[in-house]
Amino acid sequence: MVDSAKDTLNSEQLPAYENLLELEDLRVHFHTQDGVVKAVDGVSFSLNAGETLGVVGESGSGKSVTALSILGLVPMPPGQIAGGDIRFKGQSLIGMKDKDLRQIRGNHIAMIFQDPLSALNPVYKVGKQVAEGLRIHRGYNKQQANARAIELLDMVGIPNPEQRVREYPHQFSGGMRQRAMIAMALACEPEILIADEPTTALDVTIQAQIIELMQRMQHDLGTAIIMITHDLGVVADVADRILVMYAGKPVEYGTADQIFYEPLHPYTWGLMRSIPKRTIDDDKPLTPIKGNPPSLINLPPGCAFSERCPYATDRCREQEPSIKLISDEHFSACFYSDDEEFILNSPIYDDAEELKAQAAAGMLYTGIERDAEDAEDAGGAAQPAGERDNTASTQAGESNG
């Protein structure tokens, strides 16, 4: 089972760095004609080796900008690091010389993106792109790089890798491309893999396979993962800890169990009630969060979520709550999070058990129940995923023509 694989990993002796990556009060602002957009406004978290952090929020919550700023990939201008620090193994990445930062990119911290088609260069063969990092960071020559690219493609479950390295991205299916992206990101065996909505652009049936692949890679290589998604379901059974973001700010931060069983922030409740459930229950309809996230230019005073929050009081609309420790490692940015009565009366607690059960069955992000055999394979065995067979056979035929 997936969870058991994760548990073994957690019980293993981990490498020495306690905090592999630390973000401290990171602020990233964009200067636009309409004003300053505070895309990321005070985000802090730490990531341990081999751990998975889920970063969850709607579009525009600042999660992608947070990820990009870790690698220094935020375009500047218009972007600007307005404050805070990012430390990798204790070393600050902000203000680091481009030459030194390049040593970290791809080598120690790698990233995969939402749309694997546009993230791969259309004019180069997949093998060349997968092994490009090895040529820069490890000084591999062409033959070595090609041989390693074949191994990497094989490792991420791409059949017939000897032929596939010579093909171009457009000859790959969507799922295959994301597998190739993962192979590319893991080429230099980085300590951290940042996955920015890795499954959003994929078919629902492929999403689960990609998540499984990432878990297997994490298990085999000990890579820490930052999984960025708008879908709480995606991180449900993969994340050790979850950071929920809203309007550029962290609103709740805790272990996956805390976020799922004891969510404190009304926004997190809203996200959870938006997850489709396995059974249709007329008493508990899907409850979307009403309205849209606010514009990040000139945020009104008070809590950014107050306009959409069904529990908002005058205090919420006037004063901005800061994120604070509520219980053991569990943070929330709501005035009422330490009000036990308020929390226990929230509508979410009826559903939490069921959601968690669904998450364990891998159903939240697929809507399809995996059978026991499949789930077992996900743990580590190299059993090819269903996607492999059909795409492989059709594409192999095509590319010979």
Partner 1 sequence: MQAMVRYILRRFVQFVPVFIGVTLLLFAMRAILPGDPVLMIAGERAISPATYQKIVENNHLDEPLHVQYGYYMSGILQGDFGHSYQKGRSVTSIFADKFPYTARLAVAAIAVEIVIGLTVGIVSAIKKYSFMDMLLTLSTSVLVSMPVFWLGLLLQSFFGIWMKKVTGGAFSLPISGAGGPISAYPDWVHLILPAITLASVSLAVTARIMRSQLLEVLSQDYIRTAYAKGLSKRDVIIKHALKNAMIPVITFIGIDFGSMMSGAILTESVFSWPGVGREIYLAITARDWPIVMGGVVIIVLIVMAINLLIDISYALFDPRIRYGTNRAD
Select from 170, 279, 344, 371 the one that contacts partner 1 (CB under 8 A). 170
Closest distance of CB 167 from partner 1, Å: 9
87 binds partner 1 (CB under 8 A): no
Binding status of residue 168 toward partner 1 by CB under 8 A: yes
Task: Report the nearest approach of partner 1 to the CB of residue 178 (Å).
Answer: 12
The residues near 150 (Cβ < 8 Å, ≥ 6 apart) are: 127, 161, 162, 165
Which of 168/311 has CB closer to partner 1?
168
Contact region for partner 1 (CB under 8 A) — 164-172, 225-233, 297-305, 308-316? 164-172
Give the footprint of partner 1 on residues 184-243 (CB under 8 A): 184
Q: Judged by CB, which is closer to partner 1: 182, or 264?
A: 182
Decide: is 396 part of the binding site for partner 1 (CB under 8 A): no
Query: What is the C-alpha to C-alpha distance for residues 17 and 116, in angstroms, rounded to an integer?
Result: 31
Compute the distance between CA of residue 110 and CA of residue 134 in angstroms, rounded to an integer: 12
Work out whether 398 is an interface residue with partner 1 (CB under 8 A). yes
CB 169 within 8 A of CB 177: yes
How far is residue 398's CA from residue 142's CA, in Å, rounded to a whole number?
A: 27
Contacts (CB under 8 A) with partner 1, residues 89-108: 98, 102-107
Q: Is residue 119 part of the contact set for partner 1 (CB under 8 A)?
A: yes
Is 401 an interacting residue with respect to partner 1 (CB under 8 A)?
yes
Edge to edge, the sheet with strand 91-92 lists 35-47, 21-32, 79-88, 91-92
Question: Given the complex with partner 1, which of 9 and 156 has the nearer CB atom?
Answer: 156
Q: For tokens 């972007």, what's the residue? A: 79
Under the rule (CB under 8 A), what is the footprint of partner 1? 71, 73, 98, 102-107, 110-111, 113, 115, 118-125, 132-133, 136-137, 168, 170-171, 181, 184, 398, 401
